[in-house]
Amino acid sequence: MSILANKDTYVVIQGGVAGVNAARRMAEFCYLIKRSLNVLAFVYPPDAGKTHEIPYGSGLVAVPIYKTVAEATKNHSQINTSLVYIGADRALKGGMEALDDSHIKVVSMITEGVPEKDAKILAHHATKLGKVFNGPSSIGIVSAGSCRLGVIGGAFDNLVLSKLYREGSFGVITKSGGLSNEIIWICSQFADGITTAIGIGGDTYPGTDYVSYLEMFENDPQTKAVVIVGEMGGDLEERAAEWYGAKKRRVKLMAVVSGFCQESLPKGMKFGHAGAKEGLKGEGSARAKSDALKKSGAIVPATFGALGPAIKEAYQEMLKSGQVKEPVEPLVLPKLPKTIEEAIKADEVMVAPLIRTTISDDRGDEPCYDGYPASELINKGYEIPHVVGLLWDKRLISKQEAEIIKRIMMLSADHGPCVSGALGTIIAACAGIGLSQSVAAGLIMIGPRFGGAVTDAGRFFKYAVDNKMSVDDFLAYMKKNHGPVPGIGHRVKSLRNPDKRVKELVGHVKSLNIKTPCLDFALEVEKITSVKKDNLILNVDGTMAAVLVDIGFPVDSLNGFFILSRTIGLIGHWVDQKRQDSRLIRLFDYLVNYAAPKRREVPPLK
C-alpha cells in the first residue's frame, strides 16, 4: 500500500516544457514497474489540439494536449490527479482550475516562487473541497512500485538503486526536493526502502503539511515508520510533534531538522527556501523544533548523517519483532533502452554508416577541412582558394596556385545581366522569388552552352596532351568523335576583338615560370582554328580549363570554378533587383516570333 499516489492514479499535467520533462521521467518509472504511462493528458492552451510524444521503453506514447482541465478530464475520465508546472504568475488560476474539476482529487504544484497569498488561497480552497493541494515548490510524490508524480526519484539508474520498483516500510516527508531523494536512497540502503515519499515544498505555508500526511501514513498498514526532514521557520515541525505526542501512534516517527547554524549566523538571513526563516522573535528555530520532536517521543538523530544508522536500527527492530520481513528482490528488472548515441558510447552496438566523407568534419568545436582547423588556416594566412583546394582536391595548394584561382574567380564572377544565368536570376527576382531559389534559377542555366564547357574543355585538352596528339590529329579526333572543341569559339569576341580576360589570365600564368602543357596546347589549337574562322578563339572557359588542369585540379571539379565564381554575380543580381524593388516582368509580344498555327475551330471530341 501507499498513500496519495498508487496504481489507480492517472494524471493531467498543466504546463509546457517542464511538464513534458516530468512526463518523460514518469514514463521511465512506469516502464520500470511495468505499468502503462499514467500521464493521460496535458493542458497547455498554446499547443491545444497537438500531442506530446513521450518515450516509453523503446517506443513513443502520444499524449494529447488540451486547452482546459475540464476538456482533459472529459476525454479521460480516469484522471484524478493534476501536476501543475505553470509559471508563478498564472499558478493560482491553474491550480484553482484543477481543484474545481470534480474528477481531480489531488493537485501537486511544482511551480516555485508562487506568491504566499496565492498559495494560501489554493490550500484553503482545497481544504474546503476536501481535496489535497500539495506544494507549491514540491518536487513531487512517489509511491514505490506503483506511481511517480513529477521528477522525484531522479534518473532511471537512481530509481533502481533506490529500489523504487517495490514497496518498503518507510514513509518520507520533506520540504526539500534534493533531500527527499537522499532519504529515499538512505531508506533503501539502511532498510527496506519506502512506501511513499512526498515533497511538500519549502515555502512558508505549504498547502499540505506533515500532519496531513502523518494521518494518512498512520492509516496505511504497509508504512511502519515515517521520516520527516524539517528545517527552521514556521511551525510545521512543532505541529507534527504535537500530533505524534497526542496519543499512541502506530507509525514510528523519525525526524531531523536543519537550521542550527542560524544560532551563529546573522539574524534574519535568508536561506534557499522561502520558509526557512526564523520568525521576527526567533520562533521556529531548529532547536525549538528538534526539542519539540524529541519530547513527543520521535527519534531525532543529532545530525543528518546519523539518520542512516537510526533508520537501520529501527528497521532491525521491525525485523526482529516480525513486523516486517526481508523483501524479496526481483531477479530481473527492465532496463531502460539506451538511445543509439548512448549505446554506441558504451560499445554495445555497431552501426553501418549511411554515408562516408573524406573532406571535412564539424563535430569538434570548429570545422576541420581535410583535417586542418579553419581558425588555424585563417591565422596562418591561408585564404578562400586554399579552402577550395582542400575541399575539392584534398590538398593544400601553393601561394602561386591560390593566386591563379583567385584571378579566375575574379574574372568569371559576373558577365552582366544579359547572359542566361543572370537573366534567369533576374526574372526570378522580379517575380518575387527568394534568394536561394533565384540563384538556383540562374545556376540551372549552366550547362553545355553556357558556362558549363570548362570541364569538357579540360578533359579534351588533357586527353590530347596525355596522348601526345598533334593539333591536327586532335582536331580530326574531335571532329570525328565529339564535334566542336569545347573552350574554343565565342559569340562576340574574335581575333580582332580579343577577350581581355583571356589575355590577362594567360599573361599571368605565363609569367610564373611553371609548366603549362595544356595551356600551351590550347593556344596551339587556337592558332589553327582562328585561321579557319576568326571567332574560333580560345575562350575564357577553355583558358580556365587548361590552366586548372595544368595546376593539377581533377577534370570533374572544373565546372565548379565557374559555378562558384558566377554565384557571386547571381547573388549580386538578386540583391540588386530586390534593392530596386523591381516589378514583375514579361516578354513583349514583339520579341516573340509567333509561329504557331492561326486560330482555328476545335473539332468535336471523338
Partner 1 sequence: MAKVLEGPGMGLMKKWGITVPHYVVVTSVDELAKLGQANEWLKKSKLVVKAHEALGSRFKLGLVKVDLDLKGAEAAAKEMIGRQVGSITVSQVIVSEMIPHKEEYYCAVKSTREGTDILVANCGGIEVESNWDRVKRLAVEVGQQPSGDAIEKLAKDAGFTGPLLKKMADFAGKMFTCFDSEDAQYLEVNPVVLREQDSQLIALDAVTLLDGDAKFRHPDWNFAFAAEFGRAYSKHEMEVMAVDSKIKGSVKFIEIPGGDTAMLPAGGGASVYYSDAVVARGGKLANYAEYSGDPPDWAVEVLTDKVCSLPGIKNIIVGGAIANFTDVKKTFGGIINGFRKAKSEGKLKNVKIWVRRGGPREKEGLDAMRALKDEGFDINVFDRNTPLTDIVDKALQKQ
**Number of neighbouring beta carbons within 10 Å of residue 586:** 8
Nearest distance in Å: CB 78, partner 1: 26
Residue 231 vs 456, nearer CB to partner 1? 231
Nearest distance in Å: CB 358, partner 1: 32
What cell numbers appear for 5 in the block?
Answer: 499516489
Non-local CB neighbours of 559 within 8 Å, separated by 6+ positions: 446, 451, 452, 454, 455
Residue 211 vs 563, nearer CB to partner 1? 211
* Cα(593)–Cα(508) distance, integer angstroms: 45
Q: Looking at the chain, how many residues does it have?
A: 606
Helix, strand, coil % over all residues of the chain, rounded to 5: 45, 15, 45
Nearest distance in Å: CB 164, partner 1: 12
Residues acting as catalytic residues: 273
> Which uninterrupted H or E stretch holds 16?
none
* Cα(426)–Cα(552) distance, integer angstroms: 35
What cell numbers appear for 448 in the block?
Answer: 553545355
Nearest to 537 by CA among 473, 470, 482, 457: 457
| Pairing verdict, β 225-231 and 194-199 | unpaired
Nearest to 457 by CA among 480, 484, 479: 484
Nearest distance in Å: CB 202, partner 1: 5
Non-local CB neighbours of 66 within 8 Å, separated by 6+ positions: 12, 41, 42, 43, 48, 72, 75
Nearest distance in Å: CB 181, partner 1: 4
> Which uninterrupted H or E stretch holds 482?
none
Beta strands in 77-146 (DSSP E): 81-84, 106-109, 132-134, 140-143
Burial class (CB in 10 A: 0-12, 13-18, 19+), 467: exposed
* Cα(145)–Cα(188) distance, integer angstroms: 13
Cα distances (Å, whole numbers) of residue 318 to 117, 296, 311:
43, 21, 11
Contact 561, 544 (CB under 8 A): yes
Non-local CB neighbours of 447 within 8 Å, separated by 6+ positions: none
Non-local CB neighbours of 419 within 8 Å, separated by 6+ positions: 450
The distance in angstroms from the start CA to the end CA of the chain is 83
Residues near partner 1 (CB under 8 A): 21, 25, 88-89, 112-118, 120-121, 123-125, 139-140, 151-155, 158, 161, 174-182, 185, 202, 204-205, 229, 231-232, 234-235, 256, 258-261, 263-274, 276-277, 280, 286, 302-305, 308
Nearest distance in Å: CB 311, partner 1: 12
What cell numbers appear for 216 in the block?
Answer: 494518512
Residue 110 vs 475, nearer CB to partner 1? 110
Nearest distance in Å: CB 553, partner 1: 45
Residue 131 vs 277, nearer CB to partner 1? 277
Nearest distance in Å: CB 454, partner 1: 51
Nearest distance in Å: CB 150, partner 1: 8
DSSP for 311-372, written as a single string? HHHHHHHHHHTTSS-PPPPPS--PPPPPPHHHHHHTT------S---SSEE-SSSS-EETTE
Nearest distance in Å: CB 455, partner 1: 50
Residue 171 vs 308, nearer CB to partner 1? 308
* Cα(451)–Cα(453) distance, integer angstroms: 6
Cα distances (Å, whole numbers) of residue 116 to 95, 120, 266, 435:
14, 6, 24, 55
